[in-house]
Homo-oligomer: A and B are copies of this chain.
Amino acid sequence: MTEAQAPHSEAEVIGVLRRVFHQGRDVQLGIGDDAAVLAPAEGAVLVSTDMLVEGVDFDRSWASCLDIGWKSAAVNISDIAAMGAEPNALVVSLEVPPQCGLDDIEELARGVQEAIDALAPGASVVGGDLSSGAQMAVSVTVLGRLAAGEHAVTRAGARPGDVLAYWGKLGYAAAGLAVLRGGQVGSASAAALEACAAQLRPRPSVEAGRTAREYGATAMMDVSDGLAVDASRMAGASEVTIRFDPTAFPKLVTGLGWTRYELGLDPWALVFAGGEDFGLLATFPADDIPDGFLRLGTVESPAYAPVLLGDRTLDYPEWDHFSGKRR
């Protein structure tokens, strides 16, 4: 409909994408037909979708196209990991402003493929769409699979008596966002740079999710909106109360000590309310939790609040991705 001249045709772009995206196992028919065809599998099929929009989820002043591509794949891979399943296919729709060149599109695609290579090497990009738009946006849908007889781990299965545990970092991505927004990357400390990397290139673990399932995790979810909020969602879905153990946290908070003097932020708030770390919050039936998971608390019968820190209620604000404000 728009009559603007674009510097590249759909055919050119598809040529680039076919070169960047290699087709792995499970793909009977990849990019180029009306639909992709995945080999029959005996277990359940999982699907999830997440979109990143410029000006809402990222800013091109601090995120490269490679970063944006990586993150758009990673946040989707995280959703399949959080069910204890294996990502096997992704489709990627790109909306790019007219001033974007073919090189930007190729960088976005490379970021997606690099995240797949690093985080879900069995998966393939099997399709996509491309449009011009007023800003950049990347919409990814990921498919996952389970073997026959394997069950997805939902957020609704936590039971009183279970142990609560977490795999991954906490507060790093939010601290990184503060560094990136502050434009202080050039003079940042090593710790601050690590936090920037956590924000730009999150590294969810499919392996940790699968291991948790094999250990009999009763509930699991990825922590994308902050530990306190996401734990309260798990508590709500499971109809339990989650009690965090205060003695588990000083170690996590100490690691973010630099944020107090470098950024003026409260490390406790980062740990409990910082979003986008894409670690795994899981509950296990006994005290035998897998390596790599840190014990954070216990699951109890519903009490006076869905989430407690020791005997105190926790009231950290939630990051609302839609309205773009803390509520």
Least distance between A149 CB and chain B CB atoms (Å): 9
- Which stretch, A87-95, A186-194, A247-255, A305-313, touches the partner chain B? A87-95
Indicate whether A99 reaches chain B with its CB closer than 8 angstroms. no
- Which stretch, A44-52, A113-121, A262-270, A288-296, touches the partner chain B? A44-52
Indicate whether A131 reaches chain B with its CB closer than 8 angstroms. yes
> Contact partner of A139 among B39, B51, B221, CB < 8 A?
B51
Rounded to whole angstroms, the CA-CA distance of A222 and B89 in the bound complex is 23
Given contacts A9-B323, A45-B41, contact A133 B137 (CB under 8 A): yes
Rounded to whole angstroms, the CA-CA distance of A9 and B225 in the bound complex is 14
Indicate whether A155 reaches chain B with its CB closer than 8 angstroms. yes
Q: Are A35 and B80 in contact (CB under 8 A)?
A: yes
Q: Are B6 and A49 in contact (CB under 8 A)?
A: no
The residues of B that contact A126 with a CB separation of less than 8 Å are: 47
The residues of B that contact A128 with a CB separation of less than 8 Å are: 49
Least distance between A133 CB and chain B CB atoms (Å): 5
Q: Are B10 and A154 in contact (CB under 8 A)?
A: no
- Which stretch, A26-34, A164-172, A210-218, touches the partner chain B? A26-34
Q: Digit string of A104-148 for contact with B (CB within 8 Å is 1, else 0)?
A: 000000000000000000000011111111110101011110001
Q: Are A39 and B44 in contact (CB under 8 A)?
A: yes
Indicate whether A15 reaches chain B with its CB closer than 8 angstroms. no
> Contact partner of A9 among B34, B93, B320, CB < 8 A?
B320
The residues of B that contact A133 with a CB separation of less than 8 Å are: 53, 55-56, 133-135, 137
* CB closest chain-B residue, reference A145: B45
Q: Which of A36, A126, A127, A323 gathers the greatest number of chain B CB atoms within 10 Å?
A: A323
Q: Digit string of A2-20 for contact with B (CB within 8 Å is 1, else 0)?
A: 1111101110010000000
Q: Are A321 and B82 in contact (CB under 8 A)?
A: no
The residues of B that contact A240 with a CB separation of less than 8 Å are: none
> Contact partner of A40 among B5, B28, B148, CB < 8 A?
B148
The residues of B that contact A37 with a CB separation of less than 8 Å are: 44-46, 83, 152
The residues of B that contact A55 with a CB separation of less than 8 Å are: 1-2, 133-134
Rounded to whole angstroms, the CA-CA distance of A37 and B89 in the bound complex is 15
Indicate whether A59 reaches chain B with its CB closer than 8 angstroms. yes
Q: Are A129 and B46 in contact (CB under 8 A)?
A: no
Instruction: Enumerate chain A interface residues (CB-CB to B < 8 A).
Output: 1-6, 8-10, 13, 28-29, 32-53, 55-59, 78-80, 82-83, 85, 89, 91-93, 95, 126-135, 137, 139, 141-144, 148, 152, 154-156, 221-222, 237, 320-325, 327
